[in-house]
Every structure is written in structure tokens, then in C-alpha cells.
Amino acid sequence: MSMRIINRSKKLDNVCYDIRGPVNDEAQKMELNGISILKLNIGNPAAFDFFAPDEVIVDMIYNLRDSEGYSASKGLFSARKAIMQYCQLKNIPNVGIEDIYTGNGESELIMMSMQGLLDPGDEILIPMPDYPLWTASVVLAGGTPVHYRCDEQAHWNPDIDDIKAKVGPRTKGIVVINPNNPTGVLYDTAILNEIAEIARKNDLILFADEIYDRLVMDGKKHVALASLAPDLLTVCFNGLSKSHRVAGFRSGWMCLAGEKKHAKGYIEGLNLLASMRLCSNVPAQSIIQTSLGGYQSADKYLVPGGRIYEQREYIYKALNAIPGVSAVKPDAAFYIFPRLDPEVYDIQNDVEFALGLLKKKKILITYGTGFNWDKPDHFRIVYLPNIEQLAEAMEGIEDYLKSFKR
């Protein structure tokens, strides 16, 4: 008797997460064969000796016994109170305890926010390039992602005219990733105000992914999108994975800010989804209060002499020194999104480009189309490795590029 073939769900046909995609799969196979890989693909601070503050680890240890049971579905009161106070410091309006949901990282909550909102055919505007979980979450929820262009010539700020042109009758909201992943830039406040005005005129929800807001350099200041739109519903996302180097703890949150009286049905849906997963990781919730209060340990990395600052300076100069390669200087986080000049290099498929770099030079990057960029002329580098490792990577990339010269 023949067995029925078991296929994956058709819901996954247009879902991609290439940060951990086919090139990463090949890297894992190589590692199993004893090959050492220089990883520039994932923003995982602990893997590069950026460790959590001792105070945070001690807090978790002390709270483990009290974290064995479920918490309330939205999270511990102490954690949500600390998040509420953080919102006050960021001038994020109208956020009370019941407007806050803790999550197993920000990622879980992004998916929840889309599942609770979208019906088939509904559209969400998402930046291009984007953090690909946003696009995947919209597709899985039955919606349609519509990508608006960010302009590399304008410091990767969103193209306001492109956003306006892509708002349609089925558009439900606009996603803003600021500071941005993969480009590492901080958006101009004037641009944020224009996006808020588009949402205001078209009755749209704003979705503000701001997890890198505590990793800004050069004395620049992050402005929370919700602070510019108190009359709109803004769904805000943040977490400790990057700022406190605890990516594995999965400690994130989502806040409903601004005007909510017209969103009762949506909020009921979010409450249902939150209760269905019972609660988020309770030990990870227990460190939120300590993490958000007092001294912010990431600050020492972000000033001249600090590792992230100095590694950013190095990678920016090194990339721009390679003929035919250019990169906008990041303002925040630990990503840079260099461009390969198509008049200098003949690259038709950036997946194959990244795979070849892995096999020939043992360097793992993420190709630009993995961030829903529409041309095979960009890639993302995570500059968390130390300068000696980054220098090794730059030497390997420059040599590899020679085979693509026109």
C-alpha cells in the first residue's frame, strides 16, 4: 500500500526567513564537518563576548523559584509596570498596565499583532529593506505585504511619496523599523512626522519596531513614533535581546499606545491570542524591571573607545575602501548594509553570491533579497566580531569580489 505524501501547508508558500535560510543551513553542515565559519549573519551579541550585566543574571537566579508557575497572560505586574514607566520616559502616550503584553521575544508579538488584525486581502505597508519576520508574519496571517522603498541616497530614510502611492483601500497599517534593521540608520523626526500624517489621513495603525532604541551612537536621540501621534493607535515593540545581550532569554514586549477607543475588537483579539499561549517566559519577565531601571550597561559600548562604536568605525571605512563597494554609515544597532555597484560587479543572484562566499572564504553573510530588497546588489554584515575578525572578513570579501568584476 502506498503512503500518502505529507506536504507542508500552503500557507508557507510565500514565507521566507533567510537570515536562517539556505546559506545558513549550508554553514551548519560545514561546521558539522569541522570547518570554522566566520559568522557575520545574525545579531547575537553573546556569541561575540558581549555578555549580560551581572545584576541581570543575579536577578534571574534569585527569581527562578518564584518563576516556576504561569504568570498572568500579559505578564508579571512588576515587568509591565517597568515597561509602562519606560514608555513615560520615551513620551509614549496613553500606555497603562493593561496595554502591555510581554512576549517570548519581540518576534512572537509581531506575529500576534498580525494574526489578531488581518483578514485575507488586507494590506500592511512594510519597509524595503525590512526585517523579514514582518513580511512573513503578514503572509502567515493571510494578509498582503506591500513594500515601500527606503532611499539609500537619503540616509536610508523612508520614501514618503512611495508610501503615499502604496496606500490603498485594503491598507490597515504602516510598519516603521527605527532604528532600522538591516541598515542600522536612525530615521529623521521630520520623516516620522510625515508617516504619522499619512496614517492620520488614511485611518491606519502604526506599528513601531524600536528594539534598537537603546543602541544609538554619535549623541543622536531616538524619537518614539508613538510620541508623535497621540491621536493614533500605535503598536510599539521592544525588548532586551540586544541592549542587554540576552537574546536567548526571549524577553520582549508590545504596548498599545495612543488612541484606542476605536480598536476594542482588535484588542479583544490580542487578549485572546495572549491567553492562548498562557504566558511568556516568566524568568525572562523577572529581569525586565532591573534591566530598564538605573544604569544602562550598553552605553559603554556606544561611545568612542567602546567596542560597538569602534567596530562600526572600522567596518564603515573598510567597506567603503573596497572599489565598487559603498555603505551608509549606521547610527545604531550593529548592522551595515553595503551596496555592490552593478557597473563594477556582475552579480545576478545574491543567494549564489553569499553561498560562494561561504564555501570559498568561510564567511557567512545575509544576502540583501533576504530582507525583501528588490535587487541582488546588497548584503548585510553584523559587525559584532572583533576588529581582527572583521579585518579577516574584509580581506576575504575583497578577494572574493575580484571574480565578479566586469
Which pLDDT tens digits describe the chain residue by residue (406 residues)? 678 877 777 777 777 666 667 888 899 999 999 999 999 998 899 889 899 999 999 999 999 888 889 999 999 999 999 999 999 999 999 999 999 999 999 999 999 999 999 999 999 999 999 999 999 999 999 999 999 999 999 999 999 999 999 999 999 999 999 999 999 999 999 999 999 999 999 999 999 999 999 999 999 999 999 999 999 999 999 999 999 898 898 999 999 999 999 999 999 999 999 999 999 999 999 999 999 988 888 999 999 999 999 999 999 999 999 999 999 999 999 999 999 999 999 999 999 999 999 999 999 999 999 999 999 999 999 999 999 999 999 999 999 999 999 8
Alpha helix ranges (H) inside 321-386: 350-361
Strand partners, 379: 367
Non-local (6+) Cβ contacts of 343 within 8 A are: 324, 406
Alpha helix ranges (H) inside 216-349: 264-276, 282-285, 288-292, 307-320
Strand partners, 209: 177, 237
Q: Among residues 309, 326, 323, 321, which one has the least CA distance to residue 402?
A: 323
Non-local (6+) Cβ contacts of 3 within 8 A are: none
Residue type, 390: L
Alpha carbon separation from 200 to 118, 189, 194, 206, 231 (Å, rounded): 19, 16, 10, 10, 8
Q: Which residue spans of the chain are classified as CATH 3.90.1150.10?
A: 10-50+300-404
Q: How many CA atoms lie within 13 A of 192 on its CB side?
A: 22
Instruction: State residue 18's pLDDT score.
Output: 60
Q: Which residue spans of the chain are classified as CATH 3.40.640.10?
A: 67-292
Instruction: State residue 8's pLDDT score.
Output: 77
Given a contact cutoff of 8 angstroms between Cβ atoms, the answer to whether 148 and 166 are in contact is: yes
CATH assignment of 67-292? 3.40.640.10
DSSP calls for 38-82: EE-S---GGGGT-PPPHHHHHHHHHHSGGGSS---TT--HHHHHH
Instruction: State residue 180's pLDDT score.
Output: 96
Tens-digit pLDDT profile for residues 88-110: 999 999 999 999 999 999 999 99
Look at the pTM and tell me if it is higher than 0.85: yes
CATH assignment of 10-50+300-404? 3.90.1150.10
Q: Cis (ω within 30 of 0) for the bond into 129?
A: yes
